[in-house]
Structures are given as structure tokens and as C-alpha cells.
């Protein structure tokens, strides 16, 4: 395992929820990262953000690590969940709620329901 792979692996395994993103949860630097961070922030998930723009090795390394070509990438309990489109679909279908609950990740169910109501109206 390369040094960057080991760093990514440690981050993914040492934190319950990790979002590899462009920018930070307070200041996303791209629309896709902003959308996923916005969902997590709105529903109150505690997560670790990793700014891939601050580290070129991580920026490329995370794509190799997950075998997924795009950023952002969400991990829960060491497992790759997906990128922006997948997280959006999971949020709207309620699948994200189930996955978070199954992994004992606290979140605001009412806020998640509000996202669905706003998008199904």
C-alpha cells in the first residue's frame, strides 16, 4: 500500500463518516461537493471533510482508492457509498436515511423528510 493509500485508508477507517470533497464543509469549492455537503449539513450528520484541492496526492489517490473517477466521495463506516448523483438519489429515495440508521449515524429525520418534500412537490 502506498503512503497516500495508507493515509486515505486511515482516514476512512478512523472516522465514521468521511466526505472527500473540493473545498471544505464550510466552503465547498464546486457544485457537486456543495450539494453533498449541503445534504449532510442540513440533516445534521457529523462528518470529517477532506479537501482534495489542498493535497494533489489525495486528489488523485482517492480516485484510485475507490476506483471511482469523480469527487466528491462519501464513506460511511469504512465503506464507499458514492458520489453526488448517488447521494442525491439516496437522499430522495430515503435510502440514505436507512443506511445512516443501519450504521448508527445520528441524523435529523425531519430535515431529511423536508428535503424529500421540497423535491417531490
What are the tens digits of pLDDT across the range 78-94? 999 999 999 999 999 99
Kind of pairing between the strands at 48-51 and 17-21: parallel
CATH of the domain at 76: 3.40.30.10
Q: Which domain holds residue 116?
A: 3-120
Q: What is the pTM of this model?
A: 0.95
- The mean predicted confidence, pLDDT, of the chain is 96
pLDDT interval class at 120 (50, 70, 90): confident
Judge whether 30 is annotated as a binding position: yes
pLDDT tens-digit map of 32-62: 999 999 999 999 999 999 999 999 999 999 9
Order of strands across the sheet with 48-51? 48-51, 17-21, 73-76, 79-82
Count of domains for the chain: 1
Residue 117 confidence (pLDDT) above 90: yes
| Residue 114: how many other CB atoms lie within 10 Å | 13
Amino acid at each position: 500500500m502506498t503512503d497516500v493509500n495508507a493515509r486515505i485508508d486511515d482516514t476512512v477507517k478512523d472516522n465514521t463518516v468521511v466526505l472527500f470533497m473540493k473545498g471544505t464543509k464550510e466552503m465547498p469549492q464546486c457544485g457537486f461537493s456543495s450539494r453533498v455537503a449541503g445534504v449532510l449539513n442540513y440533516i445534521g450528520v457529523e462528518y470529517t471533510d477532506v479537501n482534495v484541492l489542498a493535497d494533489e496526492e489525495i486528489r488523485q489517490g482517492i480516485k484510485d482508492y475507490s476506483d471511482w473517477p469523480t469527487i466528491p466521495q462519501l464513506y460511511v463506516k469504512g465503506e464507499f457509498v458514492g458520489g453526488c448523483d448517488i447521494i442525491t438519489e439516496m437522499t430522495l429515495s430515503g435510502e440514505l436515511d436507512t443506511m445512516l440508521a443501519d450504521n448508527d449515524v445520528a441524523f435529523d429525520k425531519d430535515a431529511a423528510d423536508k428535503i424529500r418534500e421540497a423535491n417531490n412537490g
